[in-house]
Chain A
Amino acid sequence: MQKTALAIDDLTLQAGDREVLNGFSLQLEAAGRLSLTGRSGCGKSTLLRALLGFVPPIRGSIRIFDQELTEDSCWQLRTRMAYVDQEPDLGEGTVDAFLARQFQYRHNRHLRYNLSRLPELFDRLLLPASLGSKELPTLSGGEKQRLALIAALLLERDILLLDEATAALDSEAAGAVFDLLDNYRQTTILAVVHDPFRAAAFGRIVDLGRPQRGEAG
């Protein structure tokens, strides 16, 4: 029997001074893959931030592995998810320091040995091994995205939330990312994908731009 990783029910969110999603519902089984598409401003990024517990719903509910996402549960549920932003803000310091930082958090300490997988992941994502000693502000957008993805994968979370995680990559590097993600068959992945071909190849497509149930039109 399949477990449900993500159950969104009748969800409406606030984005700035607008309401988005307007009664959106979605189910995603564990280890499932889903591409979110839709015109800009329809609430894709807001939805991912809501799944991380940063945006409280105006209406409706979010359940993650059968647990309702609330002010109290979001702290524990965040440790079951990893997130890659379209323009990651990785802070200052060197690449090595950035990758080590997340393992200083109490919830992640037991995973610090995963850092030994860095050479392999760098290689898979076409990043030079010398990148480790570089300062973060000197990196390109594409390098930052791939680093954020590596950081996310090292955390071995059950759910991966990708917000246009390949937007700044050329097609070769983007291809490398999707090839790598293919190996993570146990991970539930929810990805905002712009390119319709990639979206179709990646998994079930959900268009957030379409009027949802309960919305006129």
Chain B
Amino acid sequence: MSTIDIGTGNLALAYLLLALPLALMLWLRLPLISETLIAALRMTLQLLFVGFYLQWIFALNSLPATGLWILMMLLVADLAIIRGANLRFRAIAGPVFVALLIGTLLPLLFFLLIILARPEAMAAQYVIPICGMILGNCLRADIIGIRTFYEALRREEKSYLYSLAQGAMRQEALQPFTRKAFQAAMQPTVSSMATIGLVALPGMMTGVILGGGDPMTAIKYQLAIMIAIYAGTALTVISAIRLTAAGNISGRGRVVVAVFATDGKEGS
């Protein structure tokens, strides 16, 4: 590996660059300064922690340790989705976890076992970053997907119940909502696929290039990861919708109000 290391003192200099946007905010009297400082602090601590942890886990390179790390990433993602989708923990935490598991692990295993297809690919150094990229996109897509789904169901409950009254089965009546949510969740991935490389070099490619890899190798990794991400987001969104709906649509077909974190009307 031929990546140039950054010394501690030199990294400190990078923080000097922060003075520029902070000065601009001061000049424009934007109330963003304390928020920026807190965000910068959080970023530093989180990344340092992850850096140390990954160093340890890469050195250890044991499958159980890697698995445990992935499990933790999944749990953090699960919580982030529940908060982002504005739904209740008890109502969706379990199904969303399973949806993340499906959407992340299937493409990940495909990538490692079938695309890379080498024993070294199971090393923590490959598994964790690739898993992280897929999971990060699953997280974003799940938030949009289930949020769109439940918000639309709440807003258009009358039209949904009308379909049931017309003789639709549960899935038939939910179909328009599933379609709308799935499309909204997939759109960003499709858009980024269409413009990739034209504007900015994508993260994974940059990583491979900085790591001393050949640009063509970098491109091949990028193509494979984009497809894995696309497949993963599709899988996780449809699973998240179907699995959470199973527990939050009553036996009579109505949406259970307890799924929503905030009440549409007064009281709770």
Interchain CB contact under 8 A, B169 and A106: yes
Interchain CB contact under 8 A, A54 and B166: no
A81 and B164 CA atoms in complex are apart in Å by 11
Kindly state whether residue A89 has any CB partner on chain B within 8 Å.
Answer: yes
Interchain CB contact under 8 A, A54 and B167: no
Q: Which residues 41-71 of A sit at the B interface, judged by CB distance below 8 A?
A: 49, 52-54, 56, 71
Q: Distance (Å) between the CB of B136 and the closest chain A CB?
A: 33
Q: Given A54-B253, A54-B254, is A89 in contact with B158 using a C-beta cutoff of 8 Å?
A: yes
From A4-12, A72-80, A189-197, A198-206, give the one contacting chain B.
A72-80
Q: Given A54-B252, A56-B252, is A105 in contact with B162 using a C-beta cutoff of 8 Å?
A: no
Q: Given A53-B252, A71-B252, is A91 in contact with B166 using a C-beta cutoff of 8 Å?
A: no
Kindly state whether residue A82 has any CB partner on chain B within 8 Å.
Answer: yes
Q: Distance (Å) between the CB of A13 and the closest chain B CB?
A: 13
Kindly state whether residue B213 has any CB partner on chain A within 8 Å.
Answer: no
Partner of B252, one of A74, A79, A91, A105: A74
Residues of A within 8 Å of B120, CB to CB, are none
Residues of B within 8 Å of A107, CB to CB, are 167-169
Partner of B165, one of A83, A90, A106: A83
Interchain CB contact under 8 A, B251 and A105: no
Q: Distance (Å) between the CB of A143 and the closest chain B CB?
A: 16
Q: Distance (Å) between the CB of B172 and the closest chain A CB?
A: 5
By beta carbon, the residue of chain B nearest A83 is B165
Q: Distance (Å) between the CB of B209 and the closest chain A CB?
A: 47
Q: Given A71-B251, A71-B252, is A82 in contact with B165 using a C-beta cutoff of 8 Å?
A: yes
Partner of A85, one of B162, B167, B169, B253: B162
Mask of B167-193 contacts with A, CB within 8 angstroms, 1/0: 111001000100000000000000000
Q: Distance (Å) between the CB of B158 and the closest chain A CB?
A: 4
Partner of B162, one of A53, A56, A83, A108: A83
A90 and B158 CA atoms in complex are apart in Å by 9
Residues of B within 8 Å of A153, CB to CB, are none
A105 and B253 CA atoms in complex are apart in Å by 15
Mask of A17-60 contacts with B, CB within 8 angstroms, 1/0: 00000000000000000000000000000000100111010000
Interchain CB contact under 8 A, A91 and B159: yes
Partner of B172, one of A74, A79, A81, A105: A105
Interchain CB contact under 8 A, B167 and A155: yes
Residues of B within 8 Å of A52, CB to CB, are 161, 164-165
Interchain CB contact under 8 A, B172 and A106: yes
Kindly state whether residue A125 has any CB partner on chain B within 8 Å.
Answer: no
Kindly state whether residue B214 has any CB partner on chain A within 8 Å.
Answer: no
Q: Given A79-B167, A82-B165, is A91 in contact with B253 using a C-beta cutoff of 8 Å?
A: no
Kindly state whether residue A104 has any CB partner on chain B within 8 Å.
Answer: yes
Residues of A within 8 Å of B158, CB to CB, are 85, 89
Residues of A within 8 Å of B252, CB to CB, are 53-54, 56, 71, 74
Kindly state whether residue A151 has any CB partner on chain B within 8 Å.
Answer: yes
A184 and B112 CA atoms in complex are apart in Å by 66
Interchain CB contact under 8 A, A151 and B166: yes
Q: Distance (Å) between the CB of B248 and the closest chain A CB?
A: 15
Interchain CB contact under 8 A, B156 and A105: no
Mask of B223-260 contacts with A, CB within 8 angstroms, 1/0: 00000000000000000000000000011111000000
Ordered by A's residue number, 29 sampled pairs between the chains whose C-beta atoms are within 8 Å are A52-B161, A52-B165, A53-B253, A54-B252, A54-B253, A56-B252, A71-B250, A71-B251, A71-B252, A72-B251, A74-B252, A74-B253, A78-B167, A79-B167, A81-B165, A83-B162, A83-B165, A83-B166, A89-B158, A89-B159, A90-B159, A91-B159, A102-B167, A102-B168, A105-B163, A105-B172, A107-B169, A108-B166, A108-B167
Closest 4 CB pairs of A and B: A71-B251, A89-B158, A89-B159, A107-B167
